[in-house]
């Protein structure tokens, strides 16, 4: 495969977008698999998966239990999940904070994979602690804004992205519009640090935690990461009515990103895996 051919296989959908951001599908799924291992799911325990998205984590949860209810806000992602998940996995298309699931069943395990940052933490703790069975646990991951004084590449990649955009707009004789309209809406900044989570978090107490890092540490992962930005700019350029060729786009974005990808190991994501249990259990 030629160095620029890789990104051409990236399809413009939700999965390919998140995969690219973390160096490709394998990298993305490896970190999910590690979280599912961390969860230590008992055979056939009753699992609620909040924010199940396209069902990537669900595939790994299914190795341990078939008793899974997924909840996902975005109907398009649920449709995608349904194409590959077996029919015995139920999925509700709704906001997890709505009362539909609130008082129904008590779950042995609530998993929220790559979803915590969408909630107000207090609401998340309240919702999940209220849904747990007496011995149940909540397992989720939290993206860290910084780890060991290192920020994930995405934080610095913005400068390279805007520089690449400037170059492309200039090449096409266009004026670069205001930066705010060009931001990467798929990326959510994180203010959390390892210290953000004490022993007691809302209605939960923290039982275990573990650090996990996703590293872009091989040429394929680096190409996949470049492919993420190529896809971003490609979609954006359609909106602005110019059509850079893929090779042109690729070489411009690669030139600007290369200094960030020089190191052998580039941090794509630092996250905390957390297991918490309900404090309400002690009261009942
Ligand atoms: C980053 S995706 C993660 C999807 C999947 N778990 C994964 O790891 O690939 C987060 C998902 O949370 C969903 N979401 C956000 N807030 C939600 C809510 N209040 N209730 C249900 N789903 C929600 C979004 O629609 C999105 O699909």
- Domains, the chain, with CATH or none: 6-279 (3.40.50.150)
What pLDDT score does 188 carry? 76
Residue 241 clears pLDDT 80, i.e. is over it: no
Residue 186 clears pLDDT 90, i.e. is over it: no
CA of 113 to the centre of ligand 1 (A): 8
Residues 6+ apart with CB under 8 A from 26: none
CB 218 within 8 A of CB 224: no
Nearest CA to ligand 1 atom 16: 118
Q: Is 98 in the pocket of ligand 1 (CB under 6 A)?
A: no
The candidate with the shortest Cα–Cα distance to 128, out of 118, 117, 139, is 139
The stretch 135-142 carries a mean pLDDT of: 97
CA of 96 to the centre of ligand 1 (A): 9
Q: Is 95 in the pocket of ligand 1 (CB under 6 A)?
A: yes
Q: Is 89 in the pocket of ligand 1 (CB under 6 A)?
A: no
Confidence class for position 43, pLDDT limits 50, 70, 90 = very high
Nearest CA to ligand 1 atom 11: 51
Sheet holding 47-50, edge to edge: 90-93, 68-72, 47-50, 107-112, 132-143, 266-278, 204-216, 200-201
The stretch 152-171 carries a mean pLDDT of: 90
Q: Is 141 in the pocket of ligand 1 (CB under 6 A)?
A: no
Q: Is 57 in the pocket of ligand 1 (CB under 6 A)?
A: yes
Q: Is 48 in the pocket of ligand 1 (CB under 6 A)?
A: no
CA trace torsion 84, 88, 93, 96 (10° rounding)? -120
The stretch 97-104 carries a mean pLDDT of: 70
The stretch 87-95 carries a mean pLDDT of: 95
Flag whether the pTM goes above 0.85.
Answer: yes
Q: Is 112 in the pocket of ligand 1 (CB under 6 A)?
A: no
What pLDDT score does 233 carry? 87
CB < 8 Å & 24+ apart, contacts of 229-235: 229/157, 229/160, 229/161, 229/164, 229/253, 229/257, 230/7, 230/10, 231/7, 231/10, 231/12, 231/16, 231/17, 231/20, 232/161, 232/184, 233/161, 233/164, 233/165, 233/168, 234/12, 235/12
Tokens matching residue 173: 């004789």
What pLDDT score does 181 carry? 65
Residue 275 clears pLDDT 80, i.e. is over it: yes
CB 246 within 8 A of CB 230: yes
What pLDDT score does 5 carry? 34
Mutate to test the pocket of ligand 1, among 72, 110, 154 (most ligand atoms within 8 A of CB): 72
CA of 52 to the centre of ligand 1 (A): 6
Question: Closest ligand 1 atom to the C-alpha of 96?
Answer: 20
Tokens matching residue 221: 């992962």
What does the pLDDT look like over 204-240, one tens digit per residue?
999 999 999 999 999 999 999 999 999 888 888 877 7
Confidence class for position 180, pLDDT limits 50, 70, 90 = low
Confidence class for position 266, pLDDT limits 50, 70, 90 = very high
If DSSP codes are grouped into helix, strand and coil, which group holds residue 142?
A: strand
Q: Is 118 in the pocket of ligand 1 (CB under 6 A)?
A: yes
Average pLDDT, the chain: 88
Helix (H), strand (E) at residue 31: helix 25-38
Question: Closest ligand 1 atom to the C-alpha of 97?
Answer: 19
Can you state the angle between helices 219-240 and 246-257, rounded to 10 degrees?
Answer: 120
What pLDDT score does 88 carry? 96
CA trace torsion 91, 93, 99, 101 (10° rounding)? 0
Read off the DSSP letter of residue 1. Answer: -
Percent of the chain with pLDDT over 90: 69
The stretch 99-112 carries a mean pLDDT of: 80
What pLDDT score does 85 carry? 97
């Amino acid at each position: 495969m030629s160095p620029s051919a890789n990104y051409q296989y990236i399809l413009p959908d939700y999965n390919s977008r998140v995969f690219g951001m973390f160096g490709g599908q394998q990298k993305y799924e490896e970190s999910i698999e590690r979280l599912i291992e961390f969860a230590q799911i008992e055979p056939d325990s009753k699992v609620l998966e909040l924010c199940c998205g396209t069902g990537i984590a669900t595939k790994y949860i299914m190795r341990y239990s078939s008793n899974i209810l997924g909840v996902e806000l975005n109907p398009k992602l649920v449709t995608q999940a349904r194409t590959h998940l077996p029919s015995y996995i139920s999925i509700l298309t709704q906001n997890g904070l709505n009362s539909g699931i609130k008082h129904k069943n008590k779950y042995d395990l609530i998993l929220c994979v790559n979803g915590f940052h969408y909630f107000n933490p207090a609401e998340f703790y309240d919702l999940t602690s209220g849904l747990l069975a007496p011995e149940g646990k909540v397992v989720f991951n939290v993206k860290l804004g910084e780890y060991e004084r290192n920020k994930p590449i995405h934080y610095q990649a913005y400068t390279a992205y805007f520089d690449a955009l400037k170059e492309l707009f200039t090449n096409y004789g266009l004026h670069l519009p205001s930066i705010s309209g060009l931001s990467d809406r798929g990326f959510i900044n994180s203010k959390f640090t390892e210290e953000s989570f004490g022993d007691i978090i809302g209605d939960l107490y923290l039982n275990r935690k573990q650090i996990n890092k996703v590293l872009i540490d091989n040429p394929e992962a680096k190409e996949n990461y470049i492919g993420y930005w190529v896809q971003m700019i490609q979609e954006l350029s359609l909106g602005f009515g110019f059509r850079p060729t893929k090779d042109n786009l690729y070489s411009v974005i690669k030139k600007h990103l290369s200094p960030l990808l020089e190191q052998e190991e580039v941090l794509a994501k630092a996250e905390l895996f957390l297991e918490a249990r309900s404090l309400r259990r002690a009261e009942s």
